[in-house]
Amino acid sequence: EGNHTVGLSVTDNDGLTNTTTKVIYVAHKPDAVAQVNRSNVATPGGWVLFNGTGSTCDTNTTQPNSLNYTWEIHGGTYHGATVEHYVTNTTTAFLTVTDEYNCTATDNVTVTYLHRPVPVINFTATGCLRVELNASESYDPDGNIQKYEWDADNGSIDNNTSIICTANFSEGGNHTIRLNVTDDSGLTNTTTKVIYVSCKPRAVAKANRSFVASPGDWVLFNGTDSTYD
């Protein structure tokens, strides 16, 4: 590209010659620049703006900044400087720009698809109003879980950032357990589970008579009205 001198020599049928030169400007090829408004998306996917407006062509041409844009995304062809596309997996978008002289340039940009971690709650009753919570079946499809956070309504949790911990409740009944996990990409996910915690047994002590007199008598102490969950 740039200024170039072109020379022309002509000869007629008398053998006479003449020469001339002319300086012409040759436009440089366009530059394709493919950009994106976000480098990654996470489960379940999201809209991404693919942007080619940073592409340039020679400003000395007859139609400065006149470019045609063609995108190839997931087997589809799209036209325009910008294209919005819904991404559900790792996606590479290919951009081709064409100037008025049919010169082309290409570029591409990739958006990485990240799966959110999957929290899984398991539990086992281990004592009176006490439950062991277990998140060991939680997983991350494309990384590792780095952090666990437990919460229980109407209950206290020992070591609530551990994979396995204990929840203690003041009363039985249905209780909601919440687990939030964070993976090595900083993505989080939360799940909840309603568990039933058995109520404490109820002790009922009775006697078949409320008093005895000297020298005393037999009394039947009866606990059969006591109940459990």
Helix, strand and coil content of the chain, in percent to the nearest 5, comes to 0, 55, 45
pLDDT digits (tens, 9 = 90+) for 39-65: 999 989 999 999 999 999 887 766 666
Positive/negative CA dihedral, 129, 132, 135, 137: negative
Report whether pLDDT(27) > 90: no
* Structure confidence at residue 72 (pLDDT): 98
In 10 A of CB 133, how many CB atoms?
Answer: 26
Determine contact, residues 107/29, Cβ cutoff 8 Å: no
DSSP tag of 31 = B
Residues 188-209 have a mean pLDDT of 95
d(CA 188, CA 182): 4
* Structure confidence at residue 2 (pLDDT): 86
* Structure confidence at residue 111 (pLDDT): 97
